[in-house]
Structure 1
Amino acid sequence: MGNEVIRSLFYNKNNDSLITVSVYASDNFSSLKCRSTRIEYILRGQPDAGFALFESESLKWPGFVEFDDVNGKVLTYSAQDSVYKVFDLKNYTMLYSISDKHVQEIKISPGIMLLIFKRATSHVPLKILSIEDGTVLKSFNHLLHRNKKVDFIEQFNEKLLVKQENENLQILDVRNAQLMEVSRAEFMTPSAFIFLYENQLFLTFRNRNVSVWNFRGELVTSFEDHLLWHPDCNTNNIYITSDQDLIISYCKADTEDQWIEGNAGSINISNILTGKCLAKITSSSGPPKEDESSSSSSSLGNNSKQRRNAVAEALEDITALFYDEERNEIYTGNRHGFVHVWSN
């Protein structure tokens, strides 16, 4: 079907199926369409045997669909009637809906949902809901500096992180209203966050740098050798292990390496708690294992120059990275549609 573009894929472990979120040329790629296909159908070569999901919802831009693995829920937003709906990921039944034009954003944490409403002059109204049935657990206002824009409001379990332009970071405990501040000189607004629920820490990404913080507002780790390739934190190129102790990223190679190999990056593996670089794959490492879909199937032979070129090529323009923890293999995909497997 030439007019379909798949925007995202989600593996639903509850029913061993793959959910595709696509847009179509027929409506100028403006509406999201979701489809569930059991993995067994795909393996049997019957990818059309699936069924459409959320057909009742108008997911026209800026509407969206968000899959939440932790709580086993799906959140949809229909922009034309300002309605959010929460569905069960196991059987796709609708659980409840939230219809309020003043809701600006919804953040999901284990067990709860934070509703952020349009700000008033000197505060922002917030509500915490149970993710299971939508009951309001708590409503409160968070005070703001009047004329300053809000850089972000993020939620992590009972902690709320609020940052306004040129102001300190505030960390609020919503259970007891305790407030902590981190100096704006120490904490600059990042372009992205990753919350590490196992370790009660969070990662921030800013200008190619990764930092690790705790919820007392202390910097836990800065990395010794982990300068990301993309300045704007592309999380497709970052993998965090399930124990949340290692981060594997597509990074900028050392300058000398780059000078020799042109546009090749490196794959760096660092310890999240210490910041130490434990291993890295550079263009002087061995070649990747050849995958069926990998770029060069010709034998690399013993010529080390040829071998280095093949590795350097595989380290260029990486757009996606995944680590298989059971097999201890790293998979990378690049801009040209090739997949490489890196194994010990």
Structure 2
Amino acid sequence: MVGFNSVVEIVGSEMEGRKITASPRPSCGRRVVANKRPRSNSVKKIQRREICSKRDRAFGMSDAQERFRNIRLQEEYDTHDPKGHYGMVLSFLKKRSKIIEIVAAHDIVFALAQSGVCAAFSRETNRRICFLNVSPDEVIRSLFYNKNNDSLITVSVYASDHFSSLKCRTTRIEYIRRGKPDAGFALFESESLKWPGFVEFDDVNGKVLTYSAQDSIYKVFDLKNYTLLYSISDKNVQEIKISPGIMLLIFSKTSGHVPLKILSIEDGTVLKTFHHLLHRNRKVDFIEQFNEKLLVKQENENLQILDVRNSELTEVSRTEFMTPSAFIFLYENQLFLTFRNRTVAVWNFRGELVTSFD
């Protein structure tokens, strides 16, 4: 599903969880950016088949036209409301802008515009049900469909707060279907989510991670009922990476190594504590975790793939693997994608390049 200029074109797909950081600006770049043509779903299908190990899923370029020739535009929804609902006080909320997020839940499609206006549409009637902005100064930053309790979580900032702090609200899909978006309730009210604080929704483990920059405390909540499970209070924690079942805590770098901890995502129990040796006077480009694999890259150094279970180390030459701008881990395929400029590369965890494409 893609949209442009406040018009949503539906061709099918779903959204995943993500991390949203607090920012003083009412709108900014997103992980999911709308394109002009409805082609992202097709591209994803092609990529899945290209990297699949099953022979019956692979196909040549000559088959693509036949496989996708029946894709047609089904419906078109418009989120734009030039009059402004609920007596909006922010002028940019009334202006037409790009669609940056689309979430589908049952028979409802939610579309979020870059301006911060979010609308819900019925697939059955092909009409707009309601807007999700329940306050005249609310700017919605992101959406998350919580399948655990069939609700939609909105993450917003407010003009009255100078757009400096994230506020989360959950609303049952049934209430939205009835046109009652204000029937929801606030989440994580005790947390100060001002920049650089954040909230991260982990759909795989059914958890929510929040970071309060004011007191340097990370908290993990249950995504089913939003109860607090445990807290992590350590000012030396620089980053937290989440994988199925575990969390990686990355601490402040010392002169010759970076301290690391692996925790159980369920209760915060420390499963392993270790140090990873680093080259002195070289900055760390990234540290990423994929299940038991740890990926470490320093400036002008080889990529290191460490198996934390047995300390087995694999290196990829810096001339073959250059620092990417983004990662996507493919858990089902045990592969990972790297994005650099206009090139997408597919790697396995033996450090081998599987394929690449522009």
TM tier, shorter chain? Answer: 0.5 to 0.7
Q: Which residue of 1 aligns with 2:10?
A: none
Q: Could you say what the CA RMSD is over the residues aligned between the two structures, in angstroms?
A: 0.6
CA distance in 1, matches of 2:167, 2:238: 23
Q: Which residue of 2 aligns with 1:328?
A: none
Specify which of 193, 201, 212 is matched with residue 346 of structure 2. 212
Equivalent position amino acid for 1:45 in 2: G
Equivalent position amino acid for 2:238 in 1: Q
Q: Which residue of 2 aligns with 1:52?
A: 186
User: Shift in Å at residue 209 of structure 1?
Assistant: 1.2
CA distance in 2, matches of 1:29, 1:122: 40
User: Shift in Å at residue 104 of structure 1?
Assistant: 0.2
User: Shift in Å at residue 27 of structure 1?
Assistant: 1.2
CA distance in 2, matches of 1:144, 1:2: 51
SS of the equivalent of 1:71 reads coil
User: Shift in Å at residue 178 of structure 1?
Assistant: 0.5
Equivalent position amino acid for 1:108 in 2: I
| Number of positions where the alignment pairs a residue of Structure 1 with one of Structure 2 | 224
User: Shift in Å at residue 172 of structure 1?
Assistant: 0.2
Q: Which residue of 1 aligns with 2:305?
A: 171
Task: Note the alpha carbon deviations across 1:300-329, whole angstroms, 9 max, x for none.
Answer: xxxxxxxxxxxxxxxxxxxxxxxxxxxxxx
User: Shift in Å at residue 2 of structure 1?
Assistant: 3.1
Aligned: 1:24 with 2:178: no
User: Shift in Å at residue 3 of structure 1?
Assistant: 1.4
Q: Which residue of 2 aligns with 1:305?
A: none
Specify which of 92, 95, 115 is matched with residue 229 of structure 2. 95
User: Shift in Å at residue 4 of structure 1?
Assistant: 1.0
Q: Which residue of 2 aligns with 1:186?
A: 320
User: Shift in Å at residue 208 of structure 1?
Assistant: 1.7
Specify which of 289, 306, 311 is matched with residue 155 of structure 1. 289
SS of the equivalent of 1:211 reads strand
CA distance in 1, matches of 2:137, 2:257: 46
SS of the equivalent of 1:86 reads strand
Equivalent position amino acid for 2:310 in 1: N
SS of the equivalent of 2:350 reads coil
SS of the equivalent of 2:174 reads helix
Task: Note the alpha carbon deviations across 1:222-275, whole angstroms, 9 max, x for none.
Answer: 12xxx4xxxxxxxxxxxxxxxxxxxxxxxxxxxxxxxxxxxxxxxxxxxxxxxx
Equivalent position amino acid for 2:171 in 1: T
Q: Which residue of 2 aligns with 1:293?
A: none
Runs of 4+ in 1 over 6 A off after TM superposition: none
Aligned: 1:202 with 2:336: yes
CA distance in 2, matches of 1:211, 1:180: 18
CA distance in 2, matches of 1:2, 1:53: 20
Specify which of 213, 223, 231 is matched with residue 79 of structure 1. 213
Structure 2 residues without counterparts, runs of 5 or longer: 1-134
CA distance in 2, matches of 1:183, 1:2: 54
- Which structure has more relative contact order (CA 8 Å, sep 6+)? It is 2
Report percent identity of matched pairs: 89
SS of the equivalent of 1:80 reads coil
CA distance in 2, matches of 1:222, 1:77: 36
